[in-house]
Structure 1
Amino acid sequence: MGKPSRERSLSEKEARAVAKNLRVSPQKLNLVAGLIRGKKVDKALADLEFSRKRIAQDVRKCVMSAVANAENNHDLDVNALVVSEAYVGKNLVMKRFAARGRGRGFQIKKPFSQITVVVRETEEEAETPKAKAKGKDAGKKAAPKKAAKKPAAKAEAAVAQKEAE
């Protein structure tokens, strides 16, 4: 008799996790979020593990939560997950005052932020042939350039011999 469930906003191959009330400014959190955008989950977790930023451990927990949501709630393959989105938003701001000269007060703002991490399942087989094709094409294009240089070198050598005679 409750209200009907809301339609899912993400696609079938995506899962999301949100970490709220993180005691860091959104600007600083966005630097850490930029480290993991577009990377495979295992690489992103490794980068966060060894990051020197204090907030990286909380972001790592959020990524792990998104992976757990993908695995348990949506039956996605953990090895094929990629961090497709990582965006930061503002949260509450604590306002404090510090005493200044002449009996004045100075406002100190202590911002909080939140991060949303979306992981998406990708097909690894589809990406591999493209990478192989790029490698083959690059080799074919390099060979004709070398062949083009040889006749020019021979022509210059022939001109130099004629001048010497």
Structure 2
Amino acid sequence: MQVKAINRFVRMSAFKLRDVARSIQGMPAEQALAVLAHYPKEGARHIRRTLASALANAENNHSLHRGDLFVKEALIGEAATIKRFQPKARGSAGPIRKRTSHIRIVLEQKEEK
């Protein structure tokens, strides 16, 4: 069974978040939480919150055990970009793009053989 959690419009660029998301794909969910707790990048905080939400969804909504879950997908998508302008020399303006992202984490239960 698959369980997912989505965190939308995170105020960080997808490029910065993808590096962190790649490091936890395929890991057991408990181990991924432990890794993210000590990961040196700020994006790990956002991904950790989404992973914790997915684990809570699995336990409360689907009655699954935390130890049986692993991270099947950790996808980072680009969201809307907030556009601002900063004054530059001689009356011109320079664009500032404040990028946002969507984080989607899918957990799956290990199949017993």
TM-score normalized by the length of structure 1: 0.66
Report the equivalent of 1:33.
21
Report the equivalent of 1:97.
85
Counterpart residue type for residue 120 of structure 1: E
Any stretches of 5+ residues in structure 2 without a counterpart?
A: none
Superposed CA offset, 1:64-90 (max 9, x none) = 110111111112121010000010111
**Aligned mates of 1:59, 1:19 — CA distance in 2:** 9
Any stretches of 5+ residues in structure 1 without a counterpart?
A: 1-12, 127-165
Relative to total residues, which structure has the larger helix share, 1 or 2? 1
Cα RMSD after superposing both structures: 1.1
Report the equivalent of 1:47.
35
Report the equivalent of 1:66.
54
What SS is found at the alignment partner of 2:7?
strand
Q: Do 2:83 and 2:98's aligned partners in 1 also have CA atoms closer than 8 Å? A: yes
Q: Which has the higher contact order (CA 8 A, sep 6+)?
A: 2
User: Do structure 1's residue 107 and structure 2's residue 60 form an aligned pair?
Assistant: no
Report the equivalent of 1:162.
none
Q: Point out the structure with max Rg over C-alpha.
A: 1
User: Do structure 1's residue 121 and structure 2's residue 109 form an aligned pair?
Assistant: yes
Runs (4+) off by over 3 Å: none
User: Do structure 1's residue 24 and structure 2's residue 12 form an aligned pair?
Assistant: yes
TM-score normalized by the length of structure 2: 0.94
**Aligned mates of 1:35, 1:46 — CA distance in 2:** 12
Query: What is the aligned residue count?
Result: 113
Q: Give the deviation of 1:102 after TM superposition.
A: 1.4
Query: Percent sequence identity over matched residues?
Result: 38
Counterpart residue type for residue 82 of structure 1: F
Q: Give the deviation of 1:95 after TM superposition.
A: 0.8
What SS is found at the alignment partner of 2:39?
coil
